[in-house]
Chains A and B, each alone.
Chain A
Amino acid sequence: MPTIALLIITFSTAVIGLFIPIRYGNRFAFISSLVVFIYSLYLFVTFPISADYQYVVDYPWIQSLGIHFKIGIDGISILLIMLTTFLTPLIIFSVRKSEPRPRAFYSLLLFMEMALIGVFVSMDGFLFYIFWEIALIPIYFICLLWGGRDRVRITLKFFIYTITGSLFMLVALIYLYLHTPVQHSFDIQALYAAGKSLSARAQSILFWFFVLAFGIKMPIFPLHTWQPDTYTDAPTQGTMMLSGIMLKMGIYGLIRWMIPMLPLGLSQNAEYVMWLSVIGIIYAGIIAFTQKDMKRLLAYSSIAHVGLIAAGIFAFNMQGLQGGVIQMLSHGVNIVGLFFIVDIIQSRTGTRELPSLGGIRLKAPYLATVFAIIMLGAVALPLTDGFPGEFLLISGVFQYENIAGAVAALTIILGAVYMFRTYQNSMLGETSLETDNFTDLTAAEKAVLIPIVIMVILIGVYPNLFLKVSEPAIMKLLSGI
């Protein structure tokens, strides 16, 4: 029941939010997303450390086709639900009062939260696909209606890119479905069994179909070309949603759906994807270093981080997968914090170009401190949230293949280079014309950033709080193949 409650609360508040008087729109959306967070926190705290799905709900939906409304939560999904419900209130709270058409904006954000939770709890292939696609609609409208100058072209590109991947995934899912025993079924276990029974060749083809779908969403090099434009042009909250939570859909899809289904496809092709991911790490790291626009820089840094996560997952061992899971959390927390800081800078100075910034530390010590902590998290300093994830991921990749591990480890250096450069150019040095009248964080902005800072340190100091939850599920995943 708790799983359904999460979906129902988010969906109904999204609908009600459309009709609330505008004055209360913000408060309503924030409080309702906070309620969802508290509820999922309760679920997390009481979550049994077990490899099995909890709170499973199973209703027949389209019985004649073996499609069920089957949802449940296991150790991996609870962490992603936590991430989603933790970030959504912050994202909603970070919306500026001046935003036009606020009610629709909040409703779309809440609707998106529903779809994301749906993706993370689905235990039926068809249901998963539906939620996967539904998540695209609100973010499309968020980018289209509140985005930057070139938004029409860019959001259409984004939409067509992602739906291309999705449709190939649909074909793959149908193919697997038709290989389940008669009275076909979309149940996750049935699909696992069907996938494993296929020949190595068929598995390889399906493997690439899935990689296309999930790889575009994440994105893996060379499927990333939609991403920097979209992140740059989307409104800040849209970018936060995309980078903080939505790209985790792709990673989650790999772990939950693709890998257990296609073990032969994985063993034959993982190496290629691994190398693509590693190339992506280096490539995005180098490009990030040359960016002047802070949002674009963060977009490329996100490609680099996701590349490492993907490499760890395709290494397919305990370290790689656990690292991937914990890194999903910390990347979500960091990137949302960083994008919010960019938004703050942009709203104060009217620019996010590094050369015209500088010296903000002198005017806004709070902001500089918070930025420093989150940035250290992003460059994976020990005791911040980036460290356990990156450490595990690199050791996972290293076990799989030494050279790939060595190349992937360069991300530590590259990450430090471009992040420190960003910090230096924006916070340190002399103030510029734009930053001369910079004011420090307001109470509302602190309210968003302080929880993020707490999470940065909490995950860094005590990662086991989260790792122990996902461990049984990942053990089961590894032993299943």
Chain B
Amino acid sequence: MNTLIILSALGLLALFAEIFRFRKGLFPLILVGLAAAFFFTAKEYNNPQVFFGMMNFDNYAVVFSCIIIIIAFLWFMMAKNYFLQETSVTDHFALILFSLVGAVVMVSFSNLTMLFLGIEILSISVYVLAASDKSNVMSNESGFKYFLMGSFATGFLLFGITLIYGVTGSFDLAVIHTQIAATNEPSLALAGVLLLLVGLSFKSSLAPFHFWAPDVYEGAPTTVTTYMATVVKTAAFAAFYRLFSTCFAGVQGPWTDVLWWMVILTLFVGNVSAVRQKSVKRMLAYSSVAHAGYIAIAIVSIGAASASAILYYTFTYSISTISAFTILFIVSRHKGSKDISAFEGMAKANPLLSFAMTVAMLSLAGIPPTAGFFAKYYVFLTAINHGYTLLVLFAVVAALIGIYYYFRVIIAIYFKPEQQLVPIKVGPLHRTVLIITTILTLLFGLFPNLVLGWI
């Protein structure tokens, strides 16, 4: 609850900053506020609190809130410069902070109404942010598309919630869990579960509900795309797992079968489409679809280890993604292009950028000793443990396709002839972000226990 209060207060503060003209001081205030939010959230670890049967701050919620705050912290450091050029910087910061409130609700709900509220609080802010580059048609299209498709998904979600309520007579997760197994309307319950699955798959961009993702990701400003690919995805999967593990783990059969096929589809659609992209941004968008497939493997094989698998995967994936997007942001601003050719031959003049990008790409491709490897390994372990060996074999093949396009970036950086030897200027904040993300990627790869042991 501390987290929610602090984040909401920060959001309001950001709005006031515009009125009372302390825009300059806002950024450090937010960082301090996020650090405080982290501290007070972490204090609730091992001290579960339930609020009116609506929210349950158990360890799962606390840990996911913490990593969401860490990712948001890195995100703010990355995005500061971009938004300072805009006039309405405070609005944007406020929107992000409010959407973080939604994310925290999504990881801590114990009632379906709260799940719905969390998703909406998160989404509405992001709809606006996606269209925040007002003079850019692409950005407008992106925001509009996201809003339209998102509303549909919300409709599905609500419909699902209604059916589940009809079957069980409750919004409370614990009651649903006991009622749904004993229901005498199994087909109605199944319809509800599947509709919820559709709604959440949309939010976490699982195929075939992923069609919005590439366009929205590409059109939105790079910083907002980063936010969508990291915080939103983490929150969506945390909510996904929380709902399905507490409510529907007992009625596994049908929905795991559906999800099984969706995972296969996601893995191949994401990876195969990414291969053909020229734009690194669009490539990363498809790669984020593909990664959703890997994370969803942990939900298919739902069990005791799934939570930490999702935690580890989303966290390390977010860190590498922030790193990759930060570099893309720096490079595209310097070269005026988001294409892969913008990266050509940058190794010599920009060793830090090149190294950080290489580590990020290796991690996304899942090569040891980076964190991305262990993330995939742990998901595969969970899946084989539940007998989904065939699914893992498909995922292995998909990972091989992934290596191809991630390595295209590495090849461009190191191999292609030097375009220009002028070093690209990297601001101190970006530099810090890159150093932190690179170190964390290697550190978590070598010592996964740092993340795993918490839930």
Contacts and interface: CB of A to CB of B under 8 A. Distances in A.
Interface of A: 61-65, 129-130, 133-134, 136-137, 141, 144-145, 151-152, 156, 159-160, 163-164, 167-168, 170-171, 174-175, 177-178
B414 A174 contact: no
Interface in B17-70: none
Interface in B316-374: 362, 367-369, 373
A145 B415 contact: yes
A160 B377 contact: no
A141 B448 CA distance: 26
A156 B411 contact: yes
A123 to B, nearest CB: 18
Interface in B371-389: 373, 377, 380-381, 384-385, 389
A457 to B, nearest CB: 40
B384 A163 contact: no
A164 B453 CA distance: 30
A174 B380 contact: yes
B1 interface: no
Interface in B428-455: 447-449, 452-453
Given A144-B415, A151-B415, A159-B407, A171 B396 contact: yes
B452 A164 contact: no
Contacts of A156: 404, 407, 411
A369 B393 CA distance: 52
B368 A133 contact: yes
Contact of A145 (B380, B385, B399, B414): B414
Interface of B: 362, 367-369, 373, 377, 380-381, 384-385, 389, 392-393, 396, 399-400, 403-404, 407, 411, 414-415, 447-449, 452-453
A62 B374 CA distance: 11
A137 to B, nearest CB: 7
A118 to B, nearest CB: 11
A78 to B, nearest CB: 25
Contact of B393 (A134, A145, A163, A171): A171
B381 A174 contact: yes
Q: Which 7 A-B pairs have the closest CB atoms?
A: A133-B368, A167-B396, A130-B368, A174-B384, A174-B381, A62-B449, A152-B411
B373 to A, nearest CB: 7
A151 B415 CA distance: 9
A29 B435 CA distance: 27
Contact of B369 (A130, A145, A159, A178): A130
B305 to A, nearest CB: 9
Given A133-B367, A133-B373, A174-B384, A64 B449 contact: yes
B355 to A, nearest CB: 11
A171 B396 CA distance: 9
B400 A160 contact: yes
A197 B31 CA distance: 56
A178 B448 contact: no
Contacts of A151: 415
A170 B383 CA distance: 13
Which of A62, A141, A159 has most B Cβ within 10 Å?
A: A62
Contact of B449 (A63, A137, A160): A63
A174 B386 CA distance: 12
Given A152-B415, A168-B396, A134 B452 contact: no
A171 B380 contact: yes
B59 to A, nearest CB: 15
Contacts of B389: 171, 175
A410 B389 CA distance: 42
Nearest to B362: A137
15 contacts: A129-B368, A133-B367, A133-B369, A137-B362, A144-B411, A144-B415, A152-B415, A163-B403, A167-B399, A168-B396, A171-B392, A171-B396, A174-B377, A175-B384, A178-B384
Contact of B384 (A61, A62, A129, A171): A171
A133 B404 CA distance: 16
Given A62-B452, A141-B414, A178-B384, A160 B373 contact: no
Given A156-B404, A163-B400, A171-B393, 17 more contacts: A62-B449, A63-B449, A129-B368, A133-B369, A141-B414, A151-B415, A152-B415, A159-B403, A159-B407, A160-B403, A160-B404, A164-B400, A167-B399, A170-B396, A171-B389, A175-B384, A177-B381
Contact of A64 (B385, B392, B414, B453): B453
A218 to B, nearest CB: 20
Contacts of B392: 171, 174
Contacts of A177: 381
Contacts of A62: 447-449, 452
Contacts of B385: 178
Nearest to B407: A156
Nearest to A163: B403
A373 B409 CA distance: 45
A452 B373 CA distance: 39
Contacts of A167: 396, 399-400
A307 B34 CA distance: 61
A126 to B, nearest CB: 8
Contacts of B384: 171, 174-175, 178
A389 to B, nearest CB: 33
B19 to A, nearest CB: 51
Nearest to A155: B411
B414 A144 contact: yes
A145 to B, nearest CB: 6
Which of A63, A65, A144 has most B Cβ within 10 Å?
A: A65
A50 B415 CA distance: 48
Contacts of A136: 367
Given A62-B452, A170-B380, A174-B380, A137 B367 contact: yes
A163 B411 CA distance: 17
Contacts of A164: 400
Contacts of A133: 367-369, 373
A63 B453 CA distance: 10
A112 to B, nearest CB: 14
A61 B392 CA distance: 25
A13 to B, nearest CB: 18
Which of A144, A170, A177 has most B Cβ within 10 Å?
A: A170
A470 B407 CA distance: 40
B354 to A, nearest CB: 11
A435 B392 CA distance: 56
A61 B374 CA distance: 13
